[in-house]
Amino acid sequence: MIRIGIVGATGYTAYELIKLLLGHRDAQIVRLTSRSDHGTPIDKTHPALRNRLDVLLTDFEIDDFSQNVDCAFCCLPHAASSPVVKELADRGIRTIDFSADYRLNDLASFKRWYQAEHADEGRLGNVPYGIPELWRTQIRDSLVVANPGCFPTTSIMPLAPLLRAGLIRGDDIIVDSKTGVSGGGRTPKLAFHFPECNESISAYAVGTHRHSPEMEQITERFSGCGVSIHFVPHLVPMDRGILSTIYVNKMALNTSVNDAMASLSAFYRDEPFVRVSDVLPSTKDVSGTNFCDITVREVGSRWVIVSAIDNLIKGASGAAVQNMNVMFGLEETEGLL
> 116's torsion region: left (phi>0), alpha (psi -120 to 50) or beta?
beta
Task: Say what angle helices 211-223 and 150-164 make with each other, to 10 degrees.
Answer: 20
Interface with a copy of itself includes 122 (CB under 8 A)? no
3-state secondary structure of 188: coil
What residues from 239 to 278 belong to the interface with a copy of itself (CB under 8 A)?
239-241, 243, 245, 247, 272, 275, 277
Supply the residues annotated as catalytic: 150
Nearer to a copy of itself, 107 or 203 (CB): 203
To a copy of itself, the closest distance from the beta carbon of 22 in angstroms equals 8
Q: Map residues 184-203 to x or -, x wherever contact with a copy of itself holds by CB under 8 A.
A: --x-xxx-xxxxxxxxxxxx
Q: How far is the CB of 168 from a copy of itself (least distance, A)?
A: 15
CA distance linking residue 288 with residue 311, whole number of Å: 9
Number of residues written out for the chain: 337
Q: Does 337 interact with a copy of itself (rule: CB under 8 A)?
A: yes
Task: Give the H/E segment covering residue 95.
Answer: strand 94-97
Residues 116 and 79: their CA atoms lie apart, in Å, by 6
How many residues line the site for a copy of itself (CB under 8 A)? 74
Sign of the four-CA dihedral 269, 228, 122, 148:
negative
Report, in Å, the least distance between residue 49 CB and a copy of itself: 9
The binding track of 202-241 with respect to a copy of itself, each residue x by CB under 8 A or -, is xxx-xx--------------------xxxxx-x-xxxxxx
- Which residues have CB under 8 Å from 170's CB, separation 6+? 163, 219, 220, 223, 225, 226, 227, 228
The stretch among 60-68, 102-110, 282-290, 317-325 that binds a copy of itself (CB under 8 A) is 282-290
Tell me which of 287, 290, 322, 323 binds a copy of itself, using CB under 8 A: 287
267: Cα within 13 Å, side-chain hemisphere? 21
Q: CB of 7: closest distance to a copy of itself in angstroms?
A: 21
